[in-house]
Every structure is written in C-alpha cells, then in structure tokens.
Amino acid sequence: MKEIFLLKLGEIVLKGANKRQFEDKLRQNVRRRMKAYGNFDVYLMQSTVYVEPMDELCDMDGAWDACHAIFGLVSLCRCRACEKDIESIYKTVEEYLGEDLDMAPSFKVESKRSDKRFPMTSIEISQEIGGRLAESHPTCKVEMRKPAYTVYVEVRDLAAYVHGPAEPGAGGLPTGVGGRAMCLLSGGIDSPVAAYMIAKRGVEVECVHFFSYPYTSELAKAKVLELARLVTRYCGRMTVNIVGFTQIQEAIRDNCPEEFFTLIMRRFMMEIAQRVGVQDGCGALITGENLGQVASQTMQAMQVTGAVVDIPVFMPLIGMDKEEIVTIARKIGTMDTSVLPYEDCCTVFTPKHPKTKPTVAQLINAEKKLDREALIQQTLESVERITVKYDDEPFL
C-alpha cells in the first residue's frame, strides 16, 4: 500500500462541545495547503488528519514540508499503510524501515491498537514484530529504555500503519478559529515574530505598513512585503495595507516638540491601523513591542500610544528578551530579511532625547497644532492593498 501522512492534533483534543468546529477548520486548512502539491484526500478520524495521495503525480516531499507549517498539529508521521494482519505489518516494516534499522545500533517497537477487533494486543504486536526484526537485523540490538531508533505500529480502523519517529508539528490552533487581527508590520525583527505568535493562536492576520517615501525607499517597502510573504507560510495568504505616512511625519516635525516625535507618530499609527482593521473585520491590533527595549516601549509610553484605540492590543513579545525573539525569527525564516539594511519610517525624524515617561495630557498638548482628523482622513484615502501568498515570487 502507498505512503501517507498521519497528522496528529494538538490542543484541539482538549476542546469540548465546539471541538468539531476546530477540527473542520483544520481539515479545511490542510486541504488548502495540499492543493499546490497534487491531488490529496484529506480526512479526519480518531484525532488524526490523514493525508493520502490519490495518484503518483503528487509531490510528497513538498506536501510533507508544508505540513510542518500548519497550525493545530502537534506531530507528523510519514508512514506506510498496510493490511491489518501481522505478516503484512512485518513485511511493510522491513520494506519501509529496514534500511534505517540497518544503520541504527539499537531499536525497539512501540505499538498502538485502536481497532480492538485486531486479535493481538499492543504488547503482543510489539513482541512479535520486535522478535522478527531482531533476527533479521542482528547488528541492531533491542534496547527498551533508550533505543537509537523506534519502530511504530498503529492498528487503526482503516488499516495498519508503520513509521519511524514522528516529527514535531507547528502546534497552536488552526488559523481562522480565533478571529482576525491587524499587525503593525515594520521592517525589523520583532513585528513578523509577533504576527507569527498570534497566528499560532488561530488568528487570521492582516498587516499594515507605514511607508514614508522619499525618506524610505522602494526597497524598504519590498523588504516588508517579503517579510509578510515569509509569515504566510504559517498563517496563509494575507493583505498588506501600505499607508503613505510622509505627510503626517512632516506635520509632526513642523508642529510638535521634538522629544514627543516618536510617541505622536506611534499614536497616529495605532489609530490608523485600528480604522483600517475595523473596516476589514479585525477585532484587535498586534504589535512587536517589547517592554523597555527602546524609549517608546516604556510602560508609560505604551500607555499613551495605546490610549488612542479602543480595541485590544496584543503584544506577544512584551516579556521576551531579544535573544528569544531572534531565535523564533530564525526558526520561521524571517531573520535574514529583517536585518537587511533598508530604511524604516520609525527611524525618520528620531528625537535626540525622546520622552520616556510621558502622560496622556502631555501628548494631547504636544499635538494641539495638528489637525489629527484631517491628516488621518487624507492618509486613509490613499491606502494601497496588496495580497501576499507564500508561493509568490520573492519580493527581494
């Protein structure tokens, strides 16, 4: 019989009456991801998603790689199905895993019998298969406590399945079960990681990027779109809203005290992001803020920048240190793009001595010469919306 994937569910199995909703969304997400790699049958039984190729044209390696980035799965098994009898199981283990056993110094067999109609218990299956393998692979010793290699046998409703050690899945919850949120995406290390972290909780992510031409270049814009493309490997396609921010930044420069430049800029960003997001059904904002990392990320600074919005602001990186954030950025593949030396609008008109302990009253006073509503409305009229997918050509 042919090779298939067994994708094991994560925390979905702990859900109660609405478990079916989570399972249905996960199955839909897996089906959508598999379409690019051929004709696969995707079905769900016994807290496992089965991914079965329907013809020989399926790209099994490409599909397998894609499965690692699907939220909601805790482990992945690439396995071979066979008839539910001990002779077929042994033959399949030899054909499918024999070379691995020849290279391993020790092994054991672990069996699980979810089909209780099968005449042998799990222990009996392991003993029978393990004994035969010990005879046919004399250089690979039986080791029950810490084997170098483990053969797994699963006797399920439709067939028996044999595989080697499982690989970890992406974890989290299926994209789409947790609502929709707008991420303020810069060209730095933090915000793509923040988008990934919230997407992992089942949230559909949309992005907004503030672009200040000519102070920031087209390469800076392409960098952000590339970061968004890389994140879509995990969260699916997304819309990136490019907001022309030059007029607002110049108005702040010309009319506000320098020590408040960054804070006022952030307040505009938050309010514009909320307005764009609410129109698209977003119920929260996502930022890459990290407590104490820069002057605009003190507790007081975040209070005044968050005061202009009335939807939740998710800050998944708030208590991490930089090395933890960098580790995740490397894991999800955004790090090399984030460190490319292209300008970011957050570095335009940076004050020499920024205010680190501001109050809302001070910010309102510092903004008094600005017509906030007029500036925001003008900016919203020229938002550019770009749909980004992982299989797009890279933007850089």
**CA of residue 170 relative to chain centroid, distance:** 7
Interatomic CA distance for residues 361 and 203, integer angstroms: 34
- pLDDT at position 248, please? 96
Give domain 3-170's CATH number out of 3.90.1150.10, 3.30.2130.30, 3.30.1360.170, 3.10.20.600.
Answer: 3.30.2130.30
Alpha helices in 35-175 (DSSP H): 60-67, 86-103, 122-136
Interatomic CA distance for residues 100 and 271, integer angstroms: 57
Domain residue ranges of the chain, discontinuous segments joined by +: 3-170, 180-388
**Phi and psi of 108, rounded to 5°?**
-150, 170
Write out pLDDT tens, residues 32-42: 999 999 999 99
- pLDDT at position 310, please? 96
Of all residues in the chain, what percent carry a pLDDT higher than 70?
99
Residue 58 vs residues 15, 55, 167, 170: alpha-carbon distances, Å: 33, 6, 21, 23
- Using a cut of 0.75, tell me whether the model's pTM lies above it: yes
pLDDT class of 343 with cuts at 50, 70, 90? confident
pLDDT class of 220 with cuts at 50, 70, 90? very high
Q: Which residue has the tokens 């087209």?
A: 218
Interatomic CA distance for residues 269 and 336, integer angstroms: 26
Interatomic CA distance for residues 395 and 223, integer angstroms: 7
Indicate whether 139 pLDDT > 90: yes
C-alpha dihedral (97, 98, 104, 106), degrees to nearest 10: 90
- pLDDT at position 290, please? 94
For residues 265-279, average pLDDT: 97
Interatomic CA distance for residues 110 and 151, integer angstroms: 6
For residues 120-148, average pLDDT: 96
For residues 173-201, average pLDDT: 96
pLDDT class of 1 with cuts at 50, 70, 90? low
Indicate whether 352 pLDDT > 80: yes
Interatomic CA distance for residues 344 and 189, integer angstroms: 12
- The tokens for 261 are 């430049």
Instruction: Say whether 385 sits in a helix, a strand or coil.
Output: strand
- pLDDT at position 278, please? 97
For residues 82-90, average pLDDT: 97
pLDDT class of 226 with cuts at 50, 70, 90? very high
In this structure, of 213-222, 256-265, 379-388, the range with the lowest mean pLDDT score is: 213-222
Of all residues in the chain, what percent carry a pLDDT higher than 90?
90
Write out pLDDT tens, residues 197-216: 999 999 999 999 999 988 88
- pLDDT at position 148, please? 97
For residues 214-221, average pLDDT: 90
Indicate whether 176 pLDDT > 70: yes
pLDDT class of 323 with cuts at 50, 70, 90? very high
For residues 84-100, average pLDDT: 97
User: Looking at the domain that runs over 180-388, which CATH code has it been given?
Assistant: 3.40.50.620
For residues 178-206, average pLDDT: 97
Residue 238 vs residues 77, 255, 364: alpha-carbon distances, Å: 29, 36, 34
